[in-house]
Structure formats: structure tokens, C-alpha cells
Structure 1
Amino acid sequence: MKLTVVGGGSTYTPELVDGFARLRDTLPVEELVLMDPAQDRLELVGGLARRIFARQDHTGRITTTSNLDEAVNGADAVLLQLRVGGQAARLQDETWPLECGCVGQETTGAGGLAKALRTVPVVLDIADRVRRTNPRAWIIDFTNPVGIVTRALLQAGHKAVGLCNVAIGLQRKFAALLSAAPSDIHLDHVGLNHLTWETAVRLGGPEGEDVLPKLLGEHGERIAADLRLPRPLLDTLGVVPSYYLRYYYAHDEVVRELRTKPSRAAEVAAMESELLALYADPALDEKPELLGKRGGAFYSEAAVDLAAALLGGGGTPYQAVNTYNRGTLPFLPDDAVIEVQAAVGAQGATPLPVHPVDPLYAGLMAGVTAYEHLALEAALHGGRERVFRALLSHPLIGQYAYAETLTDRLIAHNREHLAWA
């Protein structure tokens, strides 16, 4: 089995490689190709990746290359984890929206739109080259904004599934709180990428006992603290929202916070420099503790499970993924990309039936789905008017004066990445 990671020079990659090494019985990788245009980073990450495999007695071969066609040739699956514009672009995404009084974040709001506009054309070019070289390969997208990028891939006819680590992170957290094995915890996970709610926590599978009321009753304070939302709100909702919902439920509070502390992008950039220095040490043969602070917790386990299921080798039977709606949520278009539990196999991802969704969540999902449609139109076809329409439709923006100013700033800060600007 050959797997290719596009964006293999990311500091995330050792987390992924560690998972491939530990879980080789689930996903027997014979060749792992790390592809990245940043040759200096790629060599550092590739060296550590080989040492991780060696330490864990993995017999698979790890190669590095900056040639995309060479990297994807013959691959069974291609995992996308790229960041167009690097951390410098992320810093801009987190900065200029704040100047207008809106959340500055890399996956939602105006910053998220900027990232989508930079990313979608690049990802589609990569996917076209994968299809020309190896049309049978699956594309697993971990590149944000996952929902919009996955929709672009599916709309273009690619064999693609989107992946996020929010659900698996909550599953592991709940399992620890309940003193249960993670495999015994099934989440009723519903929504869009970075806009999800856990409406039930079931023991034993999709039809198991719902222990969410018990979980909130016994551990509500801790869960609320982790989400940085008030406990009474969770009691009122009766569900566990993802931490991204704080941008909606406490928007103004978040804006005030972000204006008074260093940006996450600046923190990550400093962390990446330190990580790359660690990776350069030839004695290091395991992922360093610092990597746990970089983000992407349990990313490797989720990626292994998904790749194994798509390639017919195993994995868990039900996984939270991003795929076409196709009637699963009747209040959304069939071609909307939703994030729900699905049965995953060689044929792709088939969403499991979802219990009726409270209008409180359905309304927000519908609004963000409309935004994602307009965002994809802007990413595919360009133009100031399309950018403005997407921003005006976003629930975190919604005012024409904000949308006008944000449109101009988005274009000004991203001109080098926008072919039409």
C-alpha cells in the first residue's frame, strides 16, 4: 500500500507518521511519500519520520519529494494537509478582520473565506493531477476549511472524503470521563465542519444507550470550561457544541479577547520554529512532547481509520467525516457537505440516519451552508461581488458596511494568491 501526504513538510506530519507506525496492523503502509515544495522543511520532517518508523520496527519505506506527479503516481490514497501562504497568511487572516470588529480566525468568518479563496484552486489542481496519474486513488482532505474544500472536490467529481479531528477529540475526552474504551463511545455528531453538535453520546454503537445527560450532569463544569462556554448554556442546550461554536455564541467576547492577546498564528509560528529545530536532532526518534501543543490531537488515529476503511482494510465501521448530504439533513441541499457519522468503506462514505435536528442548530447550519455555497462560487470564479456576497451572507458578519470593508481588505491582503485580483 502506498500513501502520499501532500504538505508532508508540515510540523504536523510526525504525529501522522507516529500513527502509521503504531497502527500498522490496521493500515499496512508499504510506502509513505511525503511531498512538499519546501525542501528544507521536508528533509527535516522526512528524517524524523524515518527514525520514528525505525524506532517502532516498521518496515515501510519513507520517501520525500517536491515533485507532485511523482509523489501521487501509484498512490492508493492521497492525504492533503497544505496551507497556501503559510503561517504569514494565517497571521493576516487573524488580524485584519479584527480591525473591523469581526472574529479573526483561519477557518471561519472573513479569515476563513480568505483561506478558502487561496486554497480551493490549488487543491483542485492537485486533485486533477492525482486523477490523471492515478484515477483510483482516494483523496482525504484535512486542509481547512474542510467543508468548502471537500465540496469543491466532490463537485468536480473527485473520489474525496473530508476529515476533521474535532469528533475524535471529543470521543476520547468523553471516554476518559466515563472510564470507557474509546471504541465503546459513539457520538451522534451532526452539523457542518467546525459547526457541529454532539446530540447524544452512546455506549456500544449507534443504537446504544445515550449517556449524554449523565455526562453533562457529572462533568458539565469541566466540559464547559474546556469549551470556554458557561455551564448554564450547556444545560439549556442539552448538547455539547464544538469549541468553534464559541465564535457564534460569544462573538463579541471573543473579539475583545483576540484584540488583547498574541494571535494564535504568532504562537504557532514560534512553535514551528522550535519544532523544526527539534526535528533536526538526529537523536530524536519519536514525536516530541511539544507537538501536542501544536494542535491536531488524534489526527493520526482518525486518518488511519479513514484510510483503512476506504481501502478495504478495516478501520472502525462508523466515522465522523465530511461528505455530501444527499437527504441526510432534509433542510439542506443534497449537494451540501455535512459532517456526520457515516459508514465508510471502499465505496466511500454513506451518512447514517440523523435524528430530527432542533431548529436552533438547523437554522445556523442552513445559514452557514448558504455562505459555503457562495464562498465556493467566489473561490472558483473570483470577482469582488462574489466575495462581498459571501461575506454578507456569513452569520458572523451580515452587515453591509462590514462586508464592504472586509471585501476590500481580504483582496488587498491576498492579491498575490488570487489570479483574478
Structure 2
Amino acid sequence: MSATAINPKPPQVAGDWADPGFFSKRLGKGGQFWRLLWLMLVPPEGHRIVPTPAGYVLILVALGLGSAAYNTSSNILFMALSLLLSSLILSGFLSWLNFKGTRWRLRQPPHFRANDPALLQIELSNSKKILPTYSLWFNVTTKETKGVDRVHLEDRLNPGKNIVLDWMFHPLKRGHETIKISGLESQFPFGFLRKTVGGGIKRDVVVLPSRVEYDFEPPGGHHSHIPGETNRRPGAGNELINIRRYHRGDPQRLVHWKASARQKQLVVRQMAEENRDGFVLFMETSKSLWTTEPQFELLCSFVASLAEDLFRDGRLLAVAVNDEPLQPLKRLHDLQNFLEHLAIIETADHYSPSPDTGGRNLITFRPGVGGEVNAIISSTIAGTAQH
């Protein structure tokens, strides 16, 4: 099993296509021309044209030639000046043709995890009928990172073709995160001008707590876990706990046909074993209990990791946080909601624990020595996580 216990899924398309916004399909040819002229005079937000170092040199040379041509009235100098100025104009026109007809959208995985790299994909399409697209790059930013990552189109994109560009996202901590394509840039064709158009894509995502190593040995039975290992105990019950790849000999009635069609391979339902003892997780986030941020973050990671593993083992019945009522965990969707709750939870000042949180299989959490976090069952330490 990978570091992320939730089944990995291929990136999903998030939102519609974005484009440079040069044209509108609802306008006729005349309307498109005047719209393009207006956009050149008043660029939309995120659109700009900046000379490159080579472009600044060209402009300085053009100014020098223009001054010399005016003072000497030399036709040759005026012709040279016209050639330089026309190269700038031609550069801008070809750059506009390069952007025209391009559109893009973001593919993202269904889940993000702190300290776990995630693959995001930018799907780029060239809808032009004749001209290819060259030398583009996307500027991708996130809320937590101060820099800008560039995702390059290294090869030309032929007319009517699509290409997928990969970008590795490294979330640093749990919580809300914003992924933004802040701009699409190009120096095509001569490298004199760097043209930027708005990216048009912004996604707010939730980063789940990271997974941690821990030991867990409840009274009356041994159970320990190290990330990368898992104990699956399928049964013949009615509760769906997971979907896994089909193995020879699996009953045909357990084949999940819709999921098989999505994943393009046979997968089967994995049902929970009935009449098994289970646990209830109770998490308290009192400021007086968790006084340091690193230990509280370890608590969130420990609770998330333990909840996932107990759920996959068919031994997690319900969860509760502070004064919230018990929430039964019967499906993978319930687990995902709980993990997203852990992703944004903060320490609390005052609360009254829920009266439903009790029983011999209740797991609570308390600070340990040296920054450790202990899992408690019936006043006995049953598990420990540490940095």
C-alpha cells in the first residue's frame, strides 16, 4: 500500500476549458475584429506584453537608428529602422497567432495529503486547423509557496491535437490550499517580446493530514501498523469497505461493473466481516491539553492514520470530535468526510464532551513525553505516535 491509504485514482478534470479570451463565438467576424482591437488597447487582467533583454536592445538600436536617420536624412537608415520596427510588429502578430486557438484545463487527483507529492496535469489543446503552437509555459502558484513553478510545452503542438503536461504538487501542511494557473507565457517567435495571458484557472482544495508511523496494540489483541502495510479482513457482510482489483476465483456477483468501466480493469467489492468487535475514536482538541503546534499536528496525523487503517480492517465503528455527536463510519465516503474535517480542525477553548462517547473500545488521545501522542483504551496506553 502506498503512503496514502485511500485508493489512488487517476487525476480528474476540474472545471471547463480556459482560453486566452481573444474571441467570442457569439460575435461575428466584424465583432471579433473590434473586440481584438479593444483588447490590444485595454488588455484584460493578467494580459501583458513585456520586452525581453533582446527586445530592449532592439528598441535601443531602433531609437539610435531613428535619431541618426532623422539627422542625416538617409534613406538607408530609414529602411533599416523600418525593418527593425516591422520585426517588433511581426513578433507581436505571430505571438497572437500562436496563442489563438489554444485552451487548457486542470486535471487533479481526488485527494491531497500533506508531505505526499501529488501529480497534477494541465491538458493543453490546439484547436487551430492549420498552424501549430510552439514554446508555451504555464505559471503555476499555490497559497503556501511564494515562488512560481513553470510547466513547459517543450515540443510543438500540432493543429487539432491535445497534450498533457505534468506538474508535481508538494503540499506542505494540512488545511485549505489554493492552486492557481496565474498565467500562460511565450516568447515566440523571435524572443523580443514576452507575452502573458491570464491563466483563468483557480482551484481551492483541502489537504488531508500526513500519515505517520505508529504502534497500536489494543488490550486483548495485537495490532500494529507501519505505513506501507495493511491488514485486510474481507467478509461476507453487507457493508462495502473497499474496492480492489479482481483476482481469479472471486465471485462474479462481487464485480463492481461501473467502477470497472471507469478504471478500465475488473474490480470487485470488498465487504466487511459481520459481528466483529470495533472501536470508537474520540478526539479532543482542547488548548489546555495540546499546548504546542507540532504535537497537535502529530495528533491530527495519528488520528487520521489510525482511522484509515481501522476502517480498512473493518474495525472502526464511529468517530467523534469534542462535543460533536458520534458519527458512524459505514462507507468510504464517511471516512473521507472525517479526514477532511481533520484537515481543517483547530484547537478549541471550551466544549462539553458528547455523552455518547463511552465504552470499553473507546480510543482517546493524550499528550505523551517528548512530544509523543498516546492512544488510550480503558486508561491503558494502547498506541503511540512520535515524530
* TM-score category (smaller protein): under 0.3
Which structure has more helix as a fraction of its residues?
1
Higher relative contact order (CA 8 A, sep 6+): 1
- TM-score, normalised to structure 2, is 0.25
- TM-score, normalised to structure 1, is 0.23
Larger Rg: 2
Which structure has more strand as a fraction of its residues?
2
